[in-house]
Amino acid sequence: MVKKNGMRKHSVIQHEAEEFDKETITRVTHGLIPDLRRLKKVAYFYNNPWREPEFVQTQIMPRVDFVLKHLKPRSRVLELGCGRGYLALELARHGHDVRAVDVSSESIAIAKKIAEENPYKKGFGSLKYEVGDIMNMDFGKDKHDAVIFFRTLHHIPRINVLLKKVHHTIKPGGRLIISEPLREEVNEHTAHTAALLRSILPTWEAHGTKRARTASLRDWQNYAQAIYDEYTYKDEHGEKAQSPNDNAIGSEKLMVGAIKKYFRVETLEHHDAFIDKLVGGLRGPHRHALARHLKEFDHEVIKRGMLPGTAIHLVATKK
């Protein structure tokens, strides 16, 4: 039985790696450069912020800035689930010593390639990428000033097991920093707000198409439901669930509750009410200014309690 369980778990991890391998190959083939300083437009994406550098600046850079803000100078950093490595590279450019791990060999291969091409070498710390299953790998005897989960922790079903390992590898007083989606926090109000904004703003869908899709109350309900499914990764679009464990942890209660067992939470911020699946879909000559305006509006509706944030930034210190 133990052997069977071990094989099953291994199979899930392998499936996870294979899905991210395929995604990386597809996106890079279509022009994605996972380097925040050398981005280009990628027409392959229809409502993803990575479609244009300006959308990345509006939607993704605040997450990166949050991490940078909470690292002490020349920190020894471990990023778990680094994907294609754009955060780890940026941390190293800011003088940090970074070890970055991911289960996807293709993601690590492209991360290494991009790092080798890096023209921004002044003040560079150090950077090491490696392929590994973070649930089973040994983090080594050296302690870290900070461990980072950047859109990764929600993939981990056995979160307590991993956080216990993370607690062990962080120095006394060291930090856990996370930036994570919480898709279970998406609700009916979120979906209807996004539906309303999409129906009136210039997006990838023609206005006539949107009018036809919302012609009756029943049509509107179906439209909002489709958007809800998209936001919670239950849809059939190209941006559906990335892997078998993509929605393993989607609840703030579960994620933050597990973190509090091992760490003392210092900072907890909510963001992304509706913006994440809208900003990259904007079209027209004023789309970049509109994206910035919507980002401010998104922040305001969360601040006023009108809609829940569907993602969090968190900083915690080792107990």
Q: Identify whether 238 is part of a domain.
A: no
Question: Is the domain of 48 the same as that of 149?
Answer: yes
d(CA 181, CA 310): 6
d(CA 52, CA 117): 21
Q: Identify whether 241 is part of a domain.
A: no
Q: Supply the pLDDT for residue 239.
A: 45
Q: Supply the pLDDT for residue 238.
A: 40
Domain count, the chain: 2
Question: Is the domain of 41 the same as that of 173?
Answer: yes
Question: Is the domain of 62 the same as that of 140?
Answer: yes
The DSSP element (H or E) to which 127 belongs, if any, is: strand 126-131
Question: Is the domain of 141 the same as that of 18?
Answer: yes
Task: Name the burial class of residue 155, with classes exposed (0-12), middle (13-18) and buried (19+) by CB atoms within 10 angstroms of its CB.
Answer: buried
3-state secondary structure of 178: strand
Question: Is the domain of 12 the same as that of 135?
Answer: yes
3-state secondary structure of 56: helix
Q: Identify whether 239 is part of a domain.
A: no
Q: Identify whether 129 is part of a domain.
A: yes
Q: Identify whether 114 is part of a domain.
A: yes
Question: Is the domain of 174 the same as that of 189?
Answer: no
Question: Is the domain of 160 the same as that of 278?
Answer: yes
By DSSP bridging, strand 144-150 and strand 263-271 are unpaired
Question: Is the domain of 206 the same as that of 117?
Answer: no
Per-residue pLDDT of the chain (319 residues; tens, 9 = 90+): 334 333 344 577 888 899 999 999 999 999 999 999 999 999 999 999 999 999 999 999 999 999 999 999 999 999 999 999 999 999 999 999 999 999 999 999 999 999 999 999 999 999 999 999 999 998 988 899 999 999 999 999 899 999 999 999 999 999 999 999 999 999 999 999 999 999 999 999 999 999 998 999 999 999 999 999 999 887 544 444 455 566 678 899 999 999 999 999 999 999 999 999 999 999 999 999 999 999 999 999 999 999 999 999 999 999 8
Q: Supply the pLDDT for residue 7.
A: 37
Question: Is the domain of 16 the same as that of 88?
Answer: yes
Question: Is the domain of 130 the same as that of 273?
Answer: yes
The DSSP element (H or E) to which 185 belongs, if any, is: none
- Which of 200, 231, 262 is a domain's end point? 231
CATH of residue 134: 3.40.50.150
Question: Is the domain of 66 the same as that of 211?
Answer: no
Q: Supply the pLDDT for residue 242.
A: 53
Question: Is the domain of 72 the same as that of 126?
Answer: yes
Residue 103, token pair as written in the block = 């289960």
Question: How many CB atoms are closer than 10 A to CB 240?
Answer: 12
Q: Identify whether 208 is part of a domain.
A: yes
Host domain of residue 226: 185-231
d(CA 37, CA 50): 13
Owner of token pair 């050398």: 38
- Chain centre to alpha carbon of residue 246: 11
